[in-house]
Amino acid sequence: MEQDDWRPATSRPGELFTVEGQSRARWTFLNGLRKRDPRDRRYRSSMYRVGLAVVGLGLVVCVLVGVVLALLQ
């Protein structure tokens, strides 16, 4: 068998490189977003802070690039 031949994944469905594992991971993520477990509140709020910081930094970079491009023209 050559190295470029296609072979199906032989792992369990819970692993991420199978189609079943990817869909299971997506559903688990979405269920975690909708779940209102008080034990997860601190973790979720810390992840929201990180996400908002990343989005904020992205916006700042976009504004700075826009200003620099406007000044160069």
Domain spans, the chain:
19-72
pTM: 0.49
Q: What is the pLDDT of residue 20?
A: 78
pLDDT, tens only, 17-71? 677 777 877 888 788 777 777 777 777 778 888 999 999 999 999 999 999 999 9
Alpha-carbon torsion (37, 38, 42, 48), positive or negative:
positive
Say if residue 1's pLDDT is above 90: no
